[in-house]
C-alpha cells in the first residue's frame, strides 16, 4: 500500500505533462473544437513516446496507463485515451490510428469523435463486438459539449470471445472515470482559485463559509473518486471495483458540475472563461457511463451477485 | 503508488480473521449495543484474549508492551473489529489514541503506571472533552484545574462523555490558564474516575447506549502525576489526539457490514429486483468504499510517520457521508420493519444521526478541509 507516486510514476507523469504542455492544453483544445477535429498529431506523439504502450510495458502497467489517461483528459487532449491506453490493450487488440469509440449498453448513440472513428467497441449484455466504421457514413450531430459528436454506422464486425464484454465494460468504466477525475480536479482548482481572487461585499468570495463547505464537500467526493479509480486500475479493473469507482465518479460529477458553475457565477457560463472546457466535456463521460444509475446498479449487481 | 497488501499484513489479516471467526461464534452484537453493559462485559473478556496474542496493541512500540508492528496492521485490526461490531468495546479508544498520547507525552512513571493495564486489556478509558458550553468550540471549555500543593483540584462539568458509565479513567481537558488564554491555557489530565468528587450520570438518548453521560467534577483532587505533558500545553496533545481519533475507528466497515446484510434481506424479499432500490444500494456501497480508500490514504501517511494532516478531515467527512447513506437506506428500503427495536438498520440509522457530531462535527471537518487543503481564507 503506497499512496505516493513512485519515482518511476513521477518521471512518467512529468514527461507526459511536458509533452501535453506543448501538444495539448486550453488553446489547442479551443482551436480543435472550433474545427470539430480529433488531434492526430497528439496521438502520434503519444505513440512515438510510448505512452500508448504503458498498459503492458515492463516498467509500467494498468495503473500508470490510467494515471496517463487522467492527465491527458485534464489537459484536454483531443484524443481517445481510454481505448488506446486501456481497453484495447486489455482486450489484446491492435490499436488503430485515429479515434476508437464504444458503446457499453447496446447500439451506440452519438459518440465522441464519431465522424473520424474507424472502430467501435460494443458491449451488449454478454456479447462483445468490434465493428469497423465507415467515417463517410457517420452522421455528425451538433453539440455544445466540447467533443465533436456523430452517430456511427457499423459496417463489418466480429464478435469477441465470451467474457470479453466484462473486460470492455470494466476498463471503460475505469478509464472514463479517470478522465472525469482529471477534468473534475481542474474544474475544482479553477473554481477554488476564483473564489480566492474574487471580492464581493468587500470580502473574498472564498471566505464565505456557505461556499467553503460546498467546496470542501466537492473535494471529498472528487478525492474519493480519484483513489477508487486508481485502486480499481491497480487491481486490474474487477467488476465491482470498476462499477463502484464509476458510480462514485458520477456522484462527484453531478455535484461538481452544478456547484462549480453556481459558485463561479455568470462568468463561468461564458465561452471566454475556461471552466466550461472541462464541465461540458464531463457530461460526455456522464452519458458514456450511463449516468449515475448505470454504474450504481452495476455496483449493486456485482456485489450482491444474484441481485437482479 | 500501489494498492496491494504486503505479505505480512495479509498474513496478519488471515490469522486474525481465523481467530475472530472462532472466538466470536454467537457474538451477534455487531450492530447494536456498543457501550452497553452487555457489550462491555463481553469486551472485558474478549480483549484479554486479544491481549494474550499481542493483538490489543500490536502497533505500540515493544518497550511499552506493543508488538512493534506498523500502522497498517493496527488498521487491519480495527477494520476487522468494526466489521464485526467492535467487540473490543470502548477499548479501541485506549489503544488508538490514549496509549499513544501517553507514550508520546507521558513521564516514565506515567508510562509504567498507565500503559500495562491497557496492553493487558484491563481498563476502559473515556474522553472528557465536551462541556455544556464547549463542544465543537472546544477551546471555550471552562472546567478548571487549580494547582494546590502537590496536586490539582478539578471543578467543572463534562458532557456527552461516551462510555463514562463503564470507564475506569478519563482523558480530561481542563483549564489551567485563564479563559482569555483560549487554547493556550488548557492541560490534559489522566483522571481516575473513582476519585472522590467525580460523579457520572447517564443521560437518556436514542443514539446507542454509550453516547450520553455527564461527568461532574466537584473539587476533585488529583496528584500532579495526573498531568500529561506540560501545564497549558494540552492543545497540542489534543490536536494530535483528534487526528488519530478521526480515523481511529473505521466506521465505514460497520456501515458496509450493515449494508451487506440489508442487501441480503432485500434480495430475500425480492426488493433488489427493483432497479431503483439497486441504484440506492450501489450508491451507498460506493460511499462506503470511498470512505475506505480515503482512510487508507491517512493510514499511509501514518505508516510513513508523516505529521497528521487534513487528509484525516477528508476521510472523516467521507465516513460520515457513508454512515448517513446506509442509515437512510435502511429506513427507505426496509419499510416498517426497520423501526422495530434492534432490527437490521435500526441502530445504523440512529447512530448515523450522531455520526457528524462526535469526534469533531462534520462542519468542523469541512472548515479544516477549506483552510488546510483548499487554502481558503478565514471569514
- Asked whether the beta carbons of residue A243 and residue B318 sit closer than 8 angstroms, the reply is no
Which ranges of A75-150 does DSSP label H, i.e. alpha helix?
A: 81, 88-91
Q: Tell whether A31 and A90 lie within a shared domain.
A: yes
Closest residue by Cα to residue A74 from A193, A190, A217 = A190
- Alpha-carbon span A12 to A14, nearest angstrom: 5
Q: Does B309 touch chain A (CB under 8 A)?
A: no
Task: Please name the residues between 343 and 372 in chain B that touch chain A, using a CB distance below 8 Å.
Answer: 363, 365-367, 369-370
Structural domain of residue A58, as residue ranges?
1-96
By the 8 A CB rule, do A172 and A82 touch?
yes
Q: Between B5, B275, B377, which is nearest A207 by CB?
A: B377
- Asked whether the beta carbons of residue A247 and residue B285 sit closer than 8 angstroms, the reply is yes
Tell me which chain A residue has its CA closest to the CA of residue B374: A192
| Residues of B in Cβ contact (< 8 Å) with A231 | 3, 293
By the 8 A CB rule, do B342 and B206 touch?
no
For residue B250, how far is the Cα from the chain centroid? 9
Q: What is the CATH number of the domain that holds A302?
A: 1.20.140.10
Residue B30: pLDDT band (50, 70, 90) is: very low
Q: Select the CATH number that applies to the domain covering B126-232 from these four: 2.40.110.10, 3.30.1280.10, 3.40.50.1820, 3.60.20.10.
A: 2.40.110.10
Q: Tell me the average pLDDT of chain B.
A: 89
Q: Tell whether A131 and A261 lie within a shared domain.
A: no
- Alpha-carbon span B93 to A33, nearest angstrom: 56
Tell me which chain A residue has its CA closest to the CA of residue B312: A220
- Asked whether the beta carbons of residue A300 and residue B321 sit closer than 8 angstroms, the reply is no
| Residues of B in Cβ contact (< 8 Å) with A303 | 260, 263, 281-282, 285
- Alpha-carbon span B177 to B154, nearest angstrom: 13
Q: Tell whether A84 and A104 lie within a shared domain.
A: no
- Residue B84 pLDDT > 90, yes or no? no
- Alpha-carbon span B202 to A106, nearest angstrom: 60
User: E strand or H helix at B126, and its extent?
Assistant: strand B125-128
Q: Tell whether A126 and A209 lie within a shared domain.
A: no
By the 8 A CB rule, do B158 and B131 touch?
yes
Mean pLDDT confidence for B111-117: 94
Tell me which chain B residue has its CA closest to the CA of residue A250: B283
Residue found by looking up cell 506523439 in the block: A45
More confident residue, B134 or B315: B315
Q: What is the CATH number of the domain that holds A57?
A: 1.10.540
At B35 the pLDDT is 55
Summarised one tens digit per residue, pLDDT across range B35-77 is 566 677 788 888 889 988 888 888 888 999 888 888 899 889 9
- Asked whether the beta carbons of residue B379 and residue A208 sit closer than 8 angstroms, the reply is yes
Strand partners, B151: B148, B223
- Alpha-carbon span B317 to A216, nearest angstrom: 9
Q: Tell whether A28 and A79 lie within a shared domain.
A: yes
Domain B7-123 homologous superfamily, CATH: Acyl-CoA dehydrogenase/oxidase, N-terminal domain (1.10.540.10)
- Asked whether the beta carbons of residue A228 and residue B293 sit closer than 8 angstroms, the reply is yes
- Asked whether the beta carbons of residue B300 and residue A301 sit closer than 8 angstroms, the reply is no
Where a domain ends, among A133, A161, A189?
Answer: A161
- CB neighbour class for A141 (10 Å; exposed up to 12, middle 13-18, buried from 19): middle
What cell was used for A44? 502520434
Count of domains for chain A: 3
- Name the minimum distance, in Å, from the CA of A248 to any CA of chain B: 6
At B287 the pLDDT is 98
Q: Between B72, B283, B297, which is nearest A227 by CB?
A: B297
What cell was used for A261? 458553475
By the 8 A CB rule, do A253 and A286 touch?
yes
By the 8 A CB rule, do B166 and B90 touch?
yes
At B347 the pLDDT is 83
At B87 the pLDDT is 86
Q: Model ipTM? A: 0.96
| Residues of B in Cβ contact (< 8 Å) with A63 | 1-2
Q: Tell whether A294 and A276 lie within a shared domain.
A: yes
- Residue B31 pLDDT > 50, yes or no? no
Q: Does B318 touch chain A (CB under 8 A)?
A: yes
Q: Tell whether A42 and A4 lie within a shared domain.
A: yes
- Asked whether the beta carbons of residue A219 and residue B291 sit closer than 8 angstroms, the reply is no
Task: Please name the residues between 212 and 271 in chain B that touch chain A, using a CB distance below 8 Å.
Answer: 260, 263-264, 267
Domain B247-373 belongs to what architecture?
Up-down Bundle (1.20)
- Alpha-carbon span A113 to A152, nearest angstrom: 10
Q: Tell whether A153 and A176 lie within a shared domain.
A: no
User: E strand or H helix at B100, and its extent?
Assistant: helix B99-105
Q: Tell whether A237 and A278 lie within a shared domain.
A: yes
Where a domain ends, among A141, A161, A181?
Answer: A161
What cell was used for B356? 457528524
Per-residue pLDDT of chain A (308 residues; tens, 9 = 90+): 999 999 999 999 999 999 999 999 999 999 999 999 999 999 999 999 999 999 999 999 999 999 999 999 999 999 999 999 999 999 999 999 999 999 998 778 899 999 999 999 999 888 999 999 999 999 999 999 999 999 999 888 899 998 899 999 999 999 999 999 999 999 999 999 999 999 999 999 999 999 999 999 999 999 999 999 999 999 999 999 999 999 999 999 999 999 999 999 999 999 999 999 999 999 999 999 988 899 999 999 999 985 44
Closest residue by Cα to residue B59 from B11, B28, B116, B99 = B99
Q: Tell whether A184 and A220 lie within a shared domain.
A: yes
**Domain limits, chain B:** 7-123, 126-232, 247-373
- Alpha-carbon span A256 to B266, nearest angstrom: 32
Distances (CA, A) of A78 to A19, A121, A168, B147, B290: 14, 19, 21, 70, 30
Amino acid at each position: 500500500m503506497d499512496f505516493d507516486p513512485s519515482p518511476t510514476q513521477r518521471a512518467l507523469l512529468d514527461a507526459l505533462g511536458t509533452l501535453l504542455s506543448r501538444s495539448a492544453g486550453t488553446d489547442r483544445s479551443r482551436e480543435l473544437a472550433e474545427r470539430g477535429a480529433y488531434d492526430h498529431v497528439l496521438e502520434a506523439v503519444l505513440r512515438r513516446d510510448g505512452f500508448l504502450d504503458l498498459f503492458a510495458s515492463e516498467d509500467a502497467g494498468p495503473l500508470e496507463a490510467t494515471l496517463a489517461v487522467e492527465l491527458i483528459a485534464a489537459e484536454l487532449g483531443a484524443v481517445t485515451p481510454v481505448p488506446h491506453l486501456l481497453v484495447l490493450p486489455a482486450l489484446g487488440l491492435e490499436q488503430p490510428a485515429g479515434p476508437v469509440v464504444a458503446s457499453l449498453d447496446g447500439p451506440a448513440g452519438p459518440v465522441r469523435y464519431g465522424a473520424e472513428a474507424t472502430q467501435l467497441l460494443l458491449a451488449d449484455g454478454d456479447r462483445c463486438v468490434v465493428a469497423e466504421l465507415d467515417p463517410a457514413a457517420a452522421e455528425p450531430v451538433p453539440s455544445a459539449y466540447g467533443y465533436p459528436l456523430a452517430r456511427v454506422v457499423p459496417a463489418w464486425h466480429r464478435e469477441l470471445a465470451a467474457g470479453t464484454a466484462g473486460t470492455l465494460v470494466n476498463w471503460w468504466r475505469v478509464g472514463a472515470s479517470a478522465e472525469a477525475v482529471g477534468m473534475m480536479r481542474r474544474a475544482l482548482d479553477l473554481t477554488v482559485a476564483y473564489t480566492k481572487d474574487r471580492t464581493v461585499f468587500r470580502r473574498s468570495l472564498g471566505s464565505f463559509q456557505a461556499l467553503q463547505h460546498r467546496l470542501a464537500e466537492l473535494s471529498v467526493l472528487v478525492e474519493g473518486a480519484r483513489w477508487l479509480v486508481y485502486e480499481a486500475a491497480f487491481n486490474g479493473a474487477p467488476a465491482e471495483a470498476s462499477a463502484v469507482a464509476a458510480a462514485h465518479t458520477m456522484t462527484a460529477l453531478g455535484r461538481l458540475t452544478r456547484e462549480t458553475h453556481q459558485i463561479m457565477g455568470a462568468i463561468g457560463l461564458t465561452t471566454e472563461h475556461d471552466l466550461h472546457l472541462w464541465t461540458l466535456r464531463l457530461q460526455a463521460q456522464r452519458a458514456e457511463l450511463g449516468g449515475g444509475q448505470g454504474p450504481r446498479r452495476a455496483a449493486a449487481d456485482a456485489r450482491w451477485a444474484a441481485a437482479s | 503508488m500501489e494498492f496491494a497488501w504486503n505479505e505480512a499484513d495479509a498474513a496478519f489479516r488471515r490469522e486474525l480473521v481465523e481467530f475472530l471467526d472462532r472466538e466470536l461464534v454467537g457474538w451477534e452484537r455487531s450492530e447494536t449495543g456498543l457501550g452497553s453493559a452487555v457489550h462491555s462485559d463481553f469486551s472485558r473478556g474478549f480483549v484479554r484474549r486479544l491481549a494474550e496474542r499481542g493483538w490489543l496493541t500490536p502497533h505500540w512500540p515493544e518497550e511499552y508492551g506493543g508488538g512493534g508492528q506498523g500502522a497498517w496492521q493496527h488498521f487491519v485490526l480495527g477494520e476487522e473489529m468494526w466489521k464485526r461490531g467492535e467487540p473490543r468495546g470502548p477499548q479501541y479508544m485506549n489503544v488508538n489514541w490514549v496509549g499513544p498520547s501517553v507514550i508520546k507525552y507521558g513521564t516514565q512513571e506515567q508510562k509504567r503506571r498507565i500503559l500495562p493495564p491497557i496492553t493487558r486489556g484491563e481498563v476502559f478509558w473515556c474522553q472528557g472533552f465536551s462541556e455544556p458550553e464547549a463542544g465543537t468550540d472546544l477551546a471555550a471549555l471552562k472546567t478548571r484545574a487549580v494547582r494546590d500543593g502537590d496536586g490539582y483540584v478539578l471543578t467543572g462539568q463534562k458532557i456527552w462523555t461516551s462510555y463514562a458509565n463503564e470507564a475506569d479513567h478519563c482523558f480530561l481537558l481542563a483549564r489551567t490558564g485563564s479563559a482569555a488564554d483560549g487554547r493556550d491555557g488548557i492541560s490534559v489530565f489522566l483522571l481516575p474516575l473513582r476519585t472522590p468528587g467525580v460523579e457520572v450520570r447517564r443521560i437518556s438518548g436514542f443514539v446507542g447506549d454509550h453516547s450520553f453521560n455527564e461527568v461532574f467534577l466537584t473539587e476533585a483532587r488529583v496528584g500532579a502525576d495526573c498531568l500529561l505533558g506540560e501545564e497549558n500545553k494540552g492543545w497540542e496533545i489534543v490536536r494530535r489526539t483528534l487526528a488519530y481519533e478521526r480515523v481511529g475507528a473505521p466506521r465505514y466497515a460497520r456501515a458496509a457490514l450493515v449494508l451487506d446484510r440489508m442487501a441480503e434481506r432485500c434480495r430475500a424479499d425480492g426488493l433488489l429486483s427493483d432497479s431503483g432500490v439497486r441504484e440506492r444500494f450501489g450508491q451507498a456501497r460506493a460511499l462506503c468504499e470511498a470512505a475506505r480508500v480515503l482512510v487508507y490514504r491517512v493510514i499511509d501517511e501514518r505508516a510513513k510517520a508523516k505529521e497528521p494532516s487534513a487528509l484525516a478531515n477528508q476521510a472523516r467527512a467521507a465516513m460520515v457521508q457513508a454512515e448517513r447513506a446506509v442509515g437512510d437506506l435502511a429506513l427507505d428500503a426496509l419499510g416498517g420493519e426497520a423501526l422495530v427495536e434492534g432490527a437490521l438498520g435500526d441502530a445504523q440509522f440512529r447512530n448515523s444521526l450522531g455520526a457528524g457530531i462526535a469526534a469533531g462535527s462534520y462542519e468542523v471537518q469541512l472548515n479544516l478541509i477549506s483552510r488546510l487543503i483548499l487554502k481558503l481564507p478565514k471569514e
